[in-house]
Structure formats: structure tokens, C-alpha cells
């Protein structure tokens, strides 16, 4: 089976957020889709190991912040490569409260849902939410998953339903200059630094554009 075919499915990039005993938390997700229009319902697929899963189960509500092409890509890393179990993610990312739920201020739109059903798979819970509030926050094109991979050059961690072992994907995606030149890979989010020339060193003050880790987090490959 060629798992790269799954990359042909289209998605957006979202932050799924909820309250954790009064504190806002959430995770990055690509797996959000509209299921019905009347009443409007949305489904999200959240890994059992994600702290967000436990918090949505307890709260019975979640919000979907739709990230735009001009949203800070660091939001994806903050919410997608660390856990709310031991991090206050909204301390680093500005929050708004909409429909009584926390949303990302730098998103282009939000949707607030009440959980009305759920389905357990071996690794993920699919939460079905009835939409109780939704609005546009700013004019921007919603970021697609393809844009995240091709323009932001971001990767997906193991808990994402679309995860593919990065080595296999990189091997197929790599251009000839990437294969022959030096490559620096962020050990936290997998972002690959590509200088203007194949043998360019990573600048001293470099910070990962996706997860904000410093130069020391990069490994030469
Ligand atoms: C681009 C991207 C897409 C992701 N999509 C999903 C997803 O659809 N479902 C999911 O459970 N995790 C997804 N993840 C992984 C979670 O965001 C990640 O495991 C996060 O650290 C969980 O945080 P938490 O423990 O605070 O919930 C994605 C991550 C990234 C970077």
C-alpha cells in the first residue's frame, strides 16, 4: 500500500480547543470536517493519548479555530508538538472567548460545538459536535494541509491520523539538492532547514518557524 496516497486527501489546519478545569487548552488537528448542514455538525478525530481528548470528554464542548495562511505558523507547533498536560499553550498564543469557549485570536474563523456523539477507533475518538456558534475573525485564506506541508514545510507527529513515517516521505519528496547537500532537521517538529545553497550552515540565532525551537534543537542529517 502506498500511504503517500493519503496525502491526496484535502484538509485544513485547525486548533481544537476546550477548557481544562477553567484553563484553556487544545491541540493542532487536520481532521475536522462538516458532517451535516441542518443542524450543522462537525466531526474531529482526536488521539486517545492527546490531553485534549480527555478534556473534551470532560467538558462536552470543543472549539475549532481555523488557521489562515497568514496565521503565525508557530501556533501549529505550540499546539501540535507539545502536550497541554505539562504546558500552558494559551500562555504563548493570544486567546479569545467565543460562545463561552477559548479560541485562537490569530485564526481566520472559529466554530464552537457541543459534543452530541462520539465513536471510538483503536487510536482516536471521533467527536461529533453540534455547532452552537461560528464566525469569521479576519479575512484570510484558510490554510490547507497541503500549504502547511508545501509552503510552511511542516511535518505531522505520530498522533495525527495522517502521520506517515517521515523518513519514507522525505525520501520520496527530497529534491536532488536536498539529497546531496547538508540538511538540518528540527528534532521537535521535523521541520527541515533548507538554506539558499546546499551546504549553508544554520544561522546562530535561528529559531524553527513551526515550533520556535532554537538552533540547538536541529540535528544535521
Ligand atoms: C499539522 C498537524 C496535524 C495534526 N492533526 C491531528 C489530528 O487530526 N488529530 C490528533 O489527534 N492529533 C493531531 N495532531 C497531533 C496533536 O496536535 C499533538 O499530538 C499534540 O501535541 C497533542 O496535544 P495535547 O496532548 O495537549 O492534546 C496534529 C499535529 C500537527 C502538527
* Least confident span in 4-13, 36-45, 140-149, 177-186: 177-186
**For the segment 105-143, what is each residue's pLDDT rounded down to a tens digit?**
999 999 999 999 999 999 999 999 999 999 999 999 999
- Count of positions (residues) in the chain: 221
Comparing C-alpha atoms, which of 68, 63, 57, 35 is closest to residue 143?
A: 68
SS3 state of residue 206: coil
As beta bridge partners, residue 202 has: none
> Is the model's pLDDT at 165 over the cut of 90?
no
pLDDT for 168: 45
Asked if pLDDT for residue 174 goes beyond 90, the answer is: no
Tell me if 129 CB under 6 Å of ligand 1: no
Residues 214 and 206 sit within 8 Å (Cβ to Cβ): yes
Higher pLDDT, 214 or 33: 33
Strand, coil or helix: 55: helix
Q: Residues 19-48: pLDDT tens digits?
A: 999 999 999 999 999 999 999 999 999 999
Ligand 1 pocket test, candidate residues 19, 32, 80, most atoms within 8 A of CB: 80
Where is 147: in which H helix or E strand? helix 145-150
| pTM tops 0.75 | yes
Q: State the Cα–Cα distance between residues 205 and 201, nearest whole angstrom.
A: 12
| 213, 207 Cβ separation under 8 angstroms | yes
What is the rounded distance in angstroms from the CA atom of residue 199 to the CA atom of residue 59? 50
End-to-end CA distance of the chain: 27
Residue 199, pLDDT above cutoff 80: no
27 ligand 1 Cβ < 6 A: yes
Amino acid at each position: 500500500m502506498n500511504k503517500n496516497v493519503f496525502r491526496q486527501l484535502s484538509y485544513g489546519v485547525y486548533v481544537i480547543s476546550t477548557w481544562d478545569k477553567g484553563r484553556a487548552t487544545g491541540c493542532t488537528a487536520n481532521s475536522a470536517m462538516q458532517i451535516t448542514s441542518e443542524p450543522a455538525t462537525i466531526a474531529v478525530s482526536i488521539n486517545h493519548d492527546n490531553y485534549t481528548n480527555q478534556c473534551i470528554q470532560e467538558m462536552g464542548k470543543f472549539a475549532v479555530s481555523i488557521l489562515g495562511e497568514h496565521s503565525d505558523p508557530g501556533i501549529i507547533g505550540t499546539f501540535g508538538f507539545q502536550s497541554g498536560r505539562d504546558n500552558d499553550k494559551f500562555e504563548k498564543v493570544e486567546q479569545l472567548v467565543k460562545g463561552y469557549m477559548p479560541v485562537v485570536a490569530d485564526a481566520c474563523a472559529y466554530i464552537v460545538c457541543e459534543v452530541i456523539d462520539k465513536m471510538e477507533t483503536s487510536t482516536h475518538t471521533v467527536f461529533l459536535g453540534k455547532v452552537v456558534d461560528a464566525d469569521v475573525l479576519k479575512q484570510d485564506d484558510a490554510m490547507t494541509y497541503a500549504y502547511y506541508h508545501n509552503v510552511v514545510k511542516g511535518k505531522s507527529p505520530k498522533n495525527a491520523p495522517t502521520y506517515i513515517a517521515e523518513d519514507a516521505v522525505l525520501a520520496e519528496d527530497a529534491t536532488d539538492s536536498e539529497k546531496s547537500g547538508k540538511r538540518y532537521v528540527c528534532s521537535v517538529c521535523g521541520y527541515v532547514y533548507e538554506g539558499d545553497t546546499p551546504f549553508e550552515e544554520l544561522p546562530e540565532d535561528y529559531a524553527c518557524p513551526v515550533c520556535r525551537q532554537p538552533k540547538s534543537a536541529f540535528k544535521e542529517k
